[in-house]
């Protein structure tokens, strides 16, 4: 629905521009058939223009507003939510409410459908009343058309092959002029035009331009029918007097052509007006540059096709050293990204599913990437292609530079070394993509690459969805011997050392320590040494305790 709403908004803007141009350039000319075709063709063109993909080298003045509006319309509840260091699918909370759903496009969609349904009901009601008249009226033959004479005091109108007049009009001497006028509507097939306009009203009911264009088209129909009547040789003065006489009446059947549809003054003025010079049609060429300018204004900034899809030829940004702890590396990169701007910090809480690339490792060591089984040796190349393709498509489809995020989810008993290997593979995929970007752009500065393709990698336990009920993977009474913690002051002094503890003991000790430190606890850095054989589930539990006590500065030994 969001894509449809955004399309209707863009095409609606083109319709407004087209109406203003038509009113300025062609309204009031005597090119009745030409104006009729122009209106219909212009509307069709405005509907197709948003489908044209047009890119520019630079952003236009509408780029940012359009991105904002498109984000409101298109952004659906397809996100994966980021809870500090864990991946969580959208869930229903204790109150039964879905978290972080963007209700704006849903609400707008319902409003749009309600408005369209209302207009449709009005049209159907008008059709019903019209065909009730046709069915209950007395039928007469009038050439190749059907003449319907009704007892109700209505203004004459026509639809399809039917001409409907009241008994009073039919019994008067002026009947020939009335019937001739309605015959011209049928001969020129104005019914088809109005039927198309009714369909467009359902689609664009919210746009005033479509209602104004419908009025313009109906006026052109009346001008064309009047011109057809005069071309038969009928006395112009007599016909104009008939118009004045029949100017009183109400319109109950707005979808049909009627004898009193246009304003009387406009119709008589148009009959008396000299024919417009045929070269005046060239004024319509002014529409081309104006619509071209509008197309440019709505254009999207150009997306480079070779954004890292090619094989790396030269690594222009050095990798992190193999001896550097991968956990510290990904944590530092993520934290630096959050601190660069408030917008980046929003990624802590919500991320679209199309941005996320999740590697899961189960208890048997089997790997999946985005729920598809994959071999470890294929992981890096598939990750590179998937992330770059998703970023490119997001730019083309949503006009949004969406940063890609990698994640590793593991079982509680997964060895730490296996998690480190997967994080290293994911890191290498990011680094090689950045190397391609540097090769293409000629800019290998870290600031530039962090902006174009930041390294965003998270990791956590695969059963994190149950953490609200049970926040730990292991028992709080189990002794943990594979982890040593040192609490360091801002000056680097060891304030407290914790070893051979249970999770419950760690919770109690940290709570007491933070109470004694007061405001200085924000300056405390935790140094954590993890033995090689320690399970990642235990490491995750310890980090959860640290986070619960707001000890967020963490270094690995």
Nearest to 354 by CA among 389, 303, 326: 389
- C-alpha distances in Å from residue 409, one per residue of 52, 87, 164, 351: 41, 8, 74, 16
**Residue 436 backbone phi and psi in degrees, to 5:** -65, -45
**Nearest 5 degrees, angle CA 230-CA 232-CA 236?**
30
How far apart CA 80 and CA 182 sit, in angstroms, is: 62
In this structure, the number of other CB atoms found within 10 A of the CB of residue 535 comes to: 20
Measure the CA–CA gap between 462 and 466, rounded to whole angstroms: 10
- Predicted local confidence at residue 2, as pLDDT: 66
Long-range contacts of 475-480 (CB under 8 A, 24+ apart): 475/503, 476/502, 476/503, 476/504, 476/507, 477/502, 477/503, 477/504, 478/502, 478/503, 480/506, 480/538, 480/542
Write down the pLDDT at residue 218.
Answer: 92
Q: CA 75, CA 543: separation in Å to the nearest integer?
A: 33
Cβ burial of 493 (10 Å; 0-12, 13-18, 19+) is exposed
Under a CB-based contact definition with an 8 Å cutoff, are residues 103 and 35 in contact? no
Helix (H) or strand (E) holding 507: helix 503-517
pLDDT of residue 272: 84
* Domain boundaries defined on the chain: 2-294, 326-466, 483-556
Q: How many CA atoms lie within 13 A of 437 on its CB side?
A: 24
The whole-number pLDDT of residue 55 equals: 65
Which residues pair with residue 145 across a beta bridge? 142
- Return the number of other C-beta atoms located less than 10 Å from residue 531's C-beta: 11
Nearest Cα residue to 193 out of 11, 40, 18, 12: 40
Beta bridge partners of 442: none
* Helix spans in 204-263 (H): 208-231, 236-245
Nearest CA among 360, 381, 365 for reference residue 425: 381
**Beta carbons of 414 and 366 less than 8 angstroms apart:** no
The helix or strand, by DSSP H or E, that contains position 19, with its residue range, turns out to be helix 2-25
CA dist 43 and 201 (Å) reads 12
- Residue 195: the pLDDT is 93
Local structure of residue 319 (DSSP, 8 states): P
Q: 361-370 burial, b if ≥16 CB within 10 A, otherwise e?
A: beeeeebebe
Read off the pTM.
Answer: 0.53
d(CA 221, CA 211): 15
Which residue positions in the chain have pLDDT lower than 50?
75-100, 249-252, 259-262, 303-323, 464-470
Distance CA 19, CA 457 (A): 51
The residues near 54 (Cβ < 8 Å, ≥ 6 apart) are 295, 296, 298, 299, 300
Paired residues of 526 in beta bridges = 487, 554
């Amino acid at each position: 629905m969001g894509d449809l709403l955004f399309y209707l908004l863009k095409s609606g803007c083109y319709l407004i521009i087209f109406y203003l141009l038509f009113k300025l350039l062609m309204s009031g000319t005597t090119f009745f058939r030409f104006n009729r075709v122009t209106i219909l063709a212009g509307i069709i063109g405005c509907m197709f223009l948003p489908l044209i993909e047009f890119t520019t080298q630079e952003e236009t003045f509408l780029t940012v507003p359009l991105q904002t509006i498109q984000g409101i319309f298109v952004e659906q509840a397809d996100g994966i939510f980021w809870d500090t260091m864990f991946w969580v699918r959208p869930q229903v909370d204790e109150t039964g409410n879905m978290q972080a759903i963007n209700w704006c496009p849903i609400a707008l969609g319902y409003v749009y459908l309600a408005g369209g349904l209302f207009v449709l009901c009005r049209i159907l009601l008008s059709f019903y009343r019209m065909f009730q008249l046709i069915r209950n009226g007395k039928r007469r033959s009038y050439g190749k058309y059907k003449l319907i004479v009704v007892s109700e005091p209505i203004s004459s109108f026509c639809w399809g092959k039917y001409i409907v007049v009241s008994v009073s009009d039919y019994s008067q001497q002026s009947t020939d002029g009335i019937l001739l006028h309605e015959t011209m509507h049928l001969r020129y097939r104005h019914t088809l035009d109005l039927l198309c306009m009714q369909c467009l009203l359902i689609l664009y009911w919210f746009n005033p331009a479509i209602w104004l264009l419908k009025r313009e088209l109906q006026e052109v129909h009346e001008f064309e029918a009047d011109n057809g009547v005069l071309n038969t040789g009928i006395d112009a003065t007599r016909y104009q007097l008939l118009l004045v006489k029949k100017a009183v009446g109400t319109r109950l059947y707005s979808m049909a052509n009627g004898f009193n549809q246009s304003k009387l003054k406009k119709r008589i003025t148009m009959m008396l007006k000299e024919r417009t010079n045929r070269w005046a049609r060239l004024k319509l060429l002014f529409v081309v540059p104006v619509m071209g300018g509008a197309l440019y204004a709505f254009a999207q900034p150009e997306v480079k096709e070779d954004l890292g899809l090619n094989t790396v030829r030269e690594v222009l940004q050095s990798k992190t050293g193999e001896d550097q702890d991968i956990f510290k590396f990904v944590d530092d990169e993520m934290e630096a990204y959050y601190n660069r701007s408030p917008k980046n910090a929003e990624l802590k809480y919500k991320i679209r599913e199309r941005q996320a690339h999740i590697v899961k490792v189960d208890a048997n060591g089997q790997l999946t990437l985005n729920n598809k089984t994959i071999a470890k040796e294929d992981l890096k190349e598939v990750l590179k292609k998937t992330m770059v393709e998703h970023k490119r498509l997001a730019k083309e489809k949503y006009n949004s530079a969406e940063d890609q995020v990698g994640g590793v989810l593991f079982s509680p008993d997964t060895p730490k070394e296996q998690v480190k290997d997967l994080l290293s593979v994911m890191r290498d995929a990011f680094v090689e993509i950045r190397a391609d970007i540097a090769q293409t752009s000629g800019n290998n500065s870290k600031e530039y690459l962090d902006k174009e393709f930041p390294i965003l990698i998270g990791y956590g336990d695969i059963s994190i969805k149950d953490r609200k009920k049970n926040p730990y993977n292991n028992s709080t009474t189990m002794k943990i011997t594979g982890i040593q913690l040192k609490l360091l002051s801002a000056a680097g002094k060891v304030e407290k050392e914790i070893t051979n503890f249970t999770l419950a003991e760690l919770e109690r000790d940290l709570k007491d320590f933070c109470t004694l430190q007061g405001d200085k606890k924000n300056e405390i850095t935790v140094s954590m040494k993890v033995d090689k054989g320690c399970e990642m589930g235990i490491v995750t539990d310890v980090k959860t305790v640290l986070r619960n006590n707001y000890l967020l500065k963490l270094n690995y030994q």
